[in-house]
Amino acid sequence: MRLALDGDQVAYKTLLAALVPHVRGRVRHVLARSGRGQAEVEDIVQETLLAVHLKRATWDWSMPLTPWLNAVTRHKTIDLLRRVGARGEVDLDDAVETLAAPDDGGESQLDVQRMLSVLDGRQRQIVEQVSLAGRSAAEVGGQLGMSEGAVRVALHRALKQLARTFKGRADAD
Amino acid sequence: MRTDDMIDVLVRDLPNQPKPVSTILLRWWPAAAALTGAGFLALTGVRPDLVTAGLAPTLVKLMLGALIALTAILGALDLSRPEVQASAASKWLLAVVGFLGLVVATDLLRHGLDGWWARLFGKGIVTCLTIVPALAALPLIACLTILRRGATSEPMAAGALAGLASAGLAILAYGLFCNEDSPLFIATWYSLAALIVGLAGAALGRAMLRW
């Protein structure tokens, strides 16, 4: 984690990938304990990853990572429970479905297009290029006629916008 | 969106390293307080007898303000980490309670109970309860805005600590102006002014510090 936060992208990717099963396990556990369906597990996992990324400066390097990660996961899970709780919705079908369903490799319920639709054209292009096509910031910059730095800034703004959108859904419900 | 795709996006964003909350807070929050404090003192001036009769009580006020500001801001910074509980972050405030106890005890030991009523109710109550919150408003907004970068699990408690800390800084400026010198007055009304700002901070924190 320390290496990753120093800016080592390979280490960071390995770290995030390693966190996913842990986070997913915690989310499932909390949802199951509160009698909720498991349909939104992957949404919460992704919201948690986004929060881990944007709030990574709040982890104290001298402390173990797990309590911090669990607190972020718990916060995001409770956020969703509050949302769903407000609607008073317990979907038994979801629970049954999840019990029966094999691990789908982490496909979120959120439709890509719907999620990205909150971004403006340029931001959306950048996220699509980086995420779906797996291009580097420099490549995307060359293609769109932007500097690598500008692409990074735009990407960062796009991520914050996504986080705000997640949040907005919570507030609206 | 697949979780793996999201990880790729986040990895590309790694070069945007966020700065620690404390770095930004300790730069801008005291600056906001200094600005309002200096503006206030430029308008009203410090008390005329500051370095003569007013010196000892003013030192008590400055110590109280500094102690509240320090303990509360350390707590607020601590509480900007998601795994920290409000009780752990607020424990330093016990030092303030201890100091207040000492101030009240000094007063009662020196003057006894005779005339405590008069020592408690000075003429400056309304001034104290309005000017301290007014001076704390800008630092509080600055503090909360910066704390939004944090990730607290307890927005109300974090907001309350931000309010108390900002009131502490406001007291540093107000204490140079105020000429109510009874320890009973200081312990009671300065604390109440700080609590008012703390309540405002809690209400604002609840709305502003969600993430």
DSSP result, B95-151: HHHHHHHHHHHHHHHHHTTTTHHHHHS-S-HHHHHHHHHHHHHHHHHHHHHHHTTS-
A interface test, pick of B1, B23, B154, B208 with most A CB neighbours within 10 Å? B1
The parts of chain B modelled with pLDDT lower than 50 are: none
pLDDT on residue B114: 83
Q: In this structure, what DSSP letter does residue B177 have? A: T
B chain contacts of residue A12, beta-carbon cutoff 8 Å:
10-11, 14
What's the pTM?
A: 0.81
Domain that holds residue B173: 24-208
Residues of chain A with pLDDT > 70: what percent?
72
- In this structure, the answer to whether residues A25 and A104 fall within a common structural domain is yes
Rounded to the nearest 10°, the torsion over CA A76, A78, A80, A82 is -150
Q: Which of A93, A109, A125 is the last residue of a domain?
A: A109
Same-domain pairing of A96 and A132: no
Q: How far is CA A36 from CA A28, A82, A90, A98, A171, in A?
A: 9, 11, 6, 11, 20
Helix spans in A34-117 (H): 41-54, 65-87, 92-100, 112-116
**H/E element, A123:** helix A121-131
| A71, two tokens | 């607190």
pLDDT grade, residue A137 (50/70/90)? confident
Tell me the pLDDT of chain A averaged across its residues: 76
Nearest CA in chain B to A128: B9
Name which residue leads in pLDDT, A3 or A162: A162
For residue B14, tell me if it sits in a domain. no
Total structural domains in chain A?
Answer: 2
Domain span including residue A85? 1-109
Measured CA to CA, the distance from residue A127 to residue A137 in angstroms comes to 10
Say if residue A105 is in the same domain as residue A146. no
Answer yes or no: do A103 and A118 share one domain. no
Two tokens at A148? 């690598």
- pLDDT tens per residue across span A29-83: 888 887 777 778 888 898 899 999 999 999 988 888 899 999 999 999 888 777 7
Give chain B's domain count: 1
Percentage of chain A exceeding pLDDT 90: 20
Query: Do A17 and A96 lie in a common domain?
Result: yes
Q: Does B151 touch chain A (CB under 8 A)?
A: yes
Tokens representing A103 are: 């691990």
Residues A80 and A64 in one domain: yes
Q: Say if residue A98 is in the same domain as residue A124.
A: no
B77 is a domain residue: yes
Q: Do B83 and A50 count as a contact with CB atoms less than 8 A apart?
A: no
